[in-house]
Structure 1
Amino acid sequence: MTDRLDSRAKILIAACEMFGENQASPLSVRSVAARAGVSMGSLRHHFPTQRALRDAVLETIYDVVTTKDQAIHDTSLPARDRLVHCLRLVLAPLDDDKARKAWITLIESFVEPEHTDSLRTTYAAIADEGKRRVEHWLRVLDKEGVRADGDLGSQATFLNIVLNGLSLDRALPTDHSVLHSETATLYHAADSVLKDS
């Protein structure tokens, strides 16, 4: 089946697979080209820089993970319900065990190693993509006039911090109802970035 794909699609598939195997990997263009079965020239034609390749990979992964974010446009529902639904989509793939493994990987990949410029750049690209998705949701709500006054970027950062905290809570051995506390927390967070209705 991959024989029928164009070279750009082959490159993205290979790079996404490699990123899934090791999120801290800088995605060496040579190794991505080899895995995709394309020449370096072909890879550079589609992705002139390593940053362009990484950005395309993150956008592809995020679009696949959050394709259901169209709920943010469903104006038949209150804005706060739509925003909470979209935020919950980020948490949805993480059951307790997956959340624990994700945090272990995050720590091993980005906390334990020496903080080099390369590591900072890699992590920044991941964080920027998460922020970009939340900013998109907030822009939709802003056009409807329901987003509270304030810096959109700061509000998106706040919501991502809430999501990080909730995913960490899932990873910890708690005995309380995670779903109940998550729902309450997500609604508090949504209320903080939306105008009073």
Structure 2
Amino acid sequence: MGHGTRDKILIAAATMLGEDPTAKLSVRAVAARAGVSTGSLRHFFPTQRELIDTVVAGMYTVDLPDDPMQDTASPPAERLVACLQLLLAQVGTGESARGYWRALHAAYVASPPSDDAVHAFLAHERLAVHYVERWLVRLRDEGALAPGEPGHHARFLLTVVNGLLTERALPGDLTRLEFEARTLMTAASAVLRPASSDRP
């Protein structure tokens, strides 16, 4: 019975984070979403940090649906770009992208974030790096990754993605999406071996 309650809490918290990456995961809000008492939640997760860490740790093993990296018939650069486009798609364009940035600004920029908010942000950031690094390790195993640490390459690619997400929230037209695809291809090329490098 206890594990069922714990699982309900984790599912509710993960769902809340999926809907809003800046969600505070307050004890009261998560307990209400899970349909359990705050006492039950505190029994399994005495602190907000423990709840956040457990939820994020559970996401490390989740495979993205239709992960483009699995399509080994496509060239490495195309697969990596498609993976990065998955990250961009989670935020969307136009009003959806503006809402995402408003939430980020309110949570972390408008005023000094609490220690718990910083902890949650850094946990999310580590998770994003983990996903990109996992893609890059797959490419390294295929001999397609350029020399260097996958973690460093992952942070570089996420910096490019964050820049594109910022642009999505700003006024622009549809030509921006074409530029976005070319930017992602340039970034992918920077972390991959040239296709011709395996020739004698």
TM-score, normalised by the number of residues in structure 1:
0.82
Higher mean alpha-carbon deviation, 117-126 vs 177-186, is at 117-126
* CA distance in structure 2 between the aligned counterparts of 1:196 and 1:155, rounded to whole angstroms: 15
Give distance in 1, aligned partners of 2:4 and 2:131. 27
Answer whether contact 1:24 1:119 (CA < 8 A) is retained: no
Secondary structure of the corresponding residue to residue 130 of structure 1 = helix
Distance 1:187-1:104 versus aligned 2 partners, 3 A rule:
same
Change (3 A) 1:54 1:138: same
Structure-2 residue corresponding to 1:87: 84
2:72 aligns with one of 55, 61, 75: 75
Question: Does residue 23 of the first structure (1) align with residue 16 of the second (2)?
Answer: no
Tell whether 2:111 aligns with 1:113: yes
Alignment of 1:25-44 (within 5 A): 25=24, 27-29=25-27, 31-38=29-36, 43=41
CA distance in 1, matches of 2:113, 2:32: 28
Task: Report the residue type matching 2:136 in the other structure.
Answer: L
| Pair 119,49 (structure 1): closer, same or farther in 2 beyond 3 Å | closer
Cα distance, 1:106–1:190 mapped onto 2, change above 3 Å: same
Aligned Cα root-mean-square deviation (Å): 2.8
What is the CA–CA distance in structure 2 between the aligned matches of 1:73 and 1:165, rounded to whole Å?
Answer: 26
Q: Which residue of 1 aligns with 2:136?
A: 138
Whether the 8 Å CA contact 1:100–1:172 is kept in 2: the answer is yes
How far did 1:64 drift? 7.6
Offset, 1:50: 3.8
Q: 2:166 pairs with 148, 165, 168, which one? A: 168
| 8 Å contact kept, 1:29–1:43 | yes
Q: How far is the alpha carbon of 1:11 from its aligned partner? A: 0.9
Letter in 2 for 1:23: T
- The whole-number CA distance in structure 2 between the counterparts of 1:129 and 1:121 is 12
What stretches of structure 1 of length at least 5 have no aligned partner? none
- Rounded Cα–Cα distance in structure 1 between residues aligned with 2:131 and 2:20: 23
Q: CA deviation at 1:38?
A: 3.4
Tell me the alpha carbon deviations over residues 62-119 of structure 1, each in whole angstroms, 9 at most, x when there is no partner: 88893222x2122111111111111101112312211111011110111112144323
Q: Percent identity?
A: 45
Number of residue pairs matched? 191
Distance 1:67 1:51 in 2: 28
Q: CA deviation at 1:142?
A: 1.0
Aligned to 2:101: 103
| Amino acid paired to 2:70 | H
